[in-house]
Amino acid sequence: MKSVVIGSGFGGIASALRLKAKGHKVTIIEKHSDLGGRARVFEKNGFTYDGGPTVITAPYLINELFELFNKDPKDYIELAPLKIWYQFIFEDGSKFNYSGNEIEMKNQIEKINKEDVLGYEQLVNFTKKIFDKGFLELADIPFDKPFVMIQQLPALLKLKSYKSVYSLVSSYIKDEKLRRMLSMHPLLVGGNPFTTTSIYGLILYLEKKWGIHYSMGGTGNIIRGFEKLMNEVGIQIINGHEVIKINTNKNKITGIKLDNETIIEANNVICNADPPAVYEKMLDERANNSLLFKWKKKRMEYSMGLFVYYFGTKKKYENIEHHTIKFGNKYKEHLDDIFDKKKLNDDISYYLHRPSATDASMAPEGQDCFYVLVPVPNNQSNIDWSIEGEKIKNLVIKKMENDLMPKLRENIVEDFYLTPDYFEKDLNTKYGSGFSIQPKFSQSAYFRFHNKSEVYDGLFFVGAGTHPGAGVPGVLSSAKVLDKIL
Ligand SMILES: Cc1cc2nc3c(=O)[nH]c(=O)nc-3n(C[C@H](O)[C@H](O)[C@H](O)COP(=O)(O)OP(=O)(O)OC[C@H]3O[C@@H](n4cnc5c(N)ncnc54)[C@H](O)[C@@H]3O)c2cc1C
């Protein structure tokens, strides 16, 4: 059995490894010269910048890919649990150290609003129920038939999945700061907390269950570990080439065509590239000519775009935690502007990553390595990023100088940034969205892009646009779905 995987994101690599473990002959193809997709690494002047994922949760999903081949993950990667998971900074300058230590969590909540301590306990208990159903039971099962979804509907409704995450959290928590903090998780997978189905409240519990980890050497070190493993077990890696067509014969997949005209024959093609790009650019009309599919695709809503500014400083900012989240004043308005009105708003919220807080190897001695991520509209906005990119960069530097890092600008020794144009053009993602389609109820499970094509035998999809969705645990679970279908 010969299988070709298009794209080397976490979902593509996990699929390649799972199929190899089943005995397939596997080739993985990546358009860039380096692997990882959103998790690729940019190395510049002694600074190591992880391009995307930094918060590693559910580490067993990573470890089990090594274990499929009886390898010890510790020979490849090192995952270190963090004590403080996120430091939240609110509009009034107050801070909250969010962690897995329940005593410290409750002490801090009590200082903000006594009544919310009980509400917090109840919220955690409720998210455990969502987690048990939504993650443990459903994250890695195929949702390619409507009856699978219909079967699950009563349970999902009982778990109040018609509510948004923010509204679920608000039913337990009174204080607005705590509401924001405890409902921010959809942002990690491309959703607006005010509209994302409360199923995603499960992330709050998932973090508690296995902790938040950092991959020593950066998330890129996990990709390097997987690359080593793929070479050892005999997976063929073709990088620096783009798949331009998926070949078919009647109802069957026959292989793919590369940008250098090479044809590779295969029984199965697994697409880790963003599904809309695959349907629009690599497949013929037949693949999506059913009325239902056309309707579904037309009404799909895409996740927000991301402006990511990577920078190194000549001094260390010891006061900055590994993960910092700063909320803007007009948080909800900012999110409405990004998701609905598709326009920029100066009152930004941002996430700041400082890997050198945990791992000195990420920056030259005595220096610090950062990225700051600002959610922005995706490219449905028609924003000209060649003009706006520089403006957002200056805005976020100014905000960080005011909020946390005095005289930041004069300490920056090098920098660069990515906008939704990078996600659209370099990563082939529709509208340059950061996380493919949004995690709304109407776009969850059966309503996402299916993991198995309805039209062609041998055509499969994994990664952020498919079930269960974006985020490293999500895309690794999508490869488990594939494992079950094949
Ligand atoms: C800035 C940022 C921060 C994030 N932070 C976190 C975090 O802290 N924790 C977390 O869990 N998640 C995080 N995420 C989300 C997570 O990174 C993604 O959901 C996940 O990595 C996506 O993996 P994927 O398998 O869908 O593939 P992708 O990473 O999207 O990779 C797809 C690959 O396919 C390739 N490709 C596309 N078309 C072709 C073609 N025609 N031929 C060949 N190759 C092709 C692309 O080049 C790309 O390499 C973050 C994402 C971003 C962008």
52 Cβ below 6 A of ligand 1:
yes
> For residue 172, what pLDDT band results from cuts at 50, 70 and 90?
very high
39 Cβ below 6 A of ligand 1:
yes
189 shares its domain with 259: no
Q: Give the Cα separation of 240 and 237 in Å (integer).
A: 10
Average pLDDT over residues 29-58: 98
Residue 415 Cα to ligand 1 midpoint, Å, equals: 22
pLDDT of residue 293: 84
Domain boundary among 184, 210, 236: 210
422 shares its domain with 319: yes
Average pLDDT over residues 105-111: 98
Residue 121 Cα to ligand 1 midpoint, Å, equals: 34
> For residue 145, what pLDDT band results from cuts at 50, 70 and 90?
confident
Average pLDDT over residues 87-107: 97
Q: Is the pLDDT of residue 278 over 90?
A: yes
pLDDT of residue 324: 98
Find, among 354, 337, 359, the residue nearest to 346 by Cα.
337
pLDDT of residue 297: 84
> Does any domain span residue 244?
yes
> For residue 295, what pLDDT band results from cuts at 50, 70 and 90?
confident
> For residue 381, what pLDDT band results from cuts at 50, 70 and 90?
very high
305 Cβ below 6 A of ligand 1:
no
> Does any domain span residue 97?
no
Q: Is the pLDDT of residue 286 over 90?
A: no
Which residue segment(s) compose the domain that 136 sits in? 120-210
321 shares its domain with 413: yes
Tokens of 157: 């409704």
311 shares its domain with 422: yes
Average pLDDT over residues 319-348: 95
> Does any domain span residue 95?
no
Q: Is the pLDDT of residue 289 over 80?
A: no
Pocket test for ligand 1, best of 38, 308, 376 (most atoms within 8 A of CB): 38
Atom of ligand 1 at shortest range from CA of 464:
26
355 Cβ below 6 A of ligand 1:
no
Domain CATH code at residue 403: 3.30.519
Domain count, the chain: 3
Q: Give the Cα separation of 346 and 326 in Å (integer).
A: 14
Q: What is the pTM of this model?
A: 0.97
pLDDT of residue 62: 98
> Does any domain span residue 13?
yes
Specify the residue with its C-alpha closest to ligand 1, atom 15. 471
Average pLDDT, the chain: 96
Bridge partner list, 353? 323, 371
Residues 6+ apart with CB under 8 A from 23: 1
Q: Is the pLDDT of residue 95 over 80?
A: yes
> Does any domain span residue 220?
yes
Pocket test for ligand 1, best of 15, 262, 272, 280 (most atoms within 8 A of CB): 272
> Does any domain span residue 93?
no
127 shares its domain with 154: yes
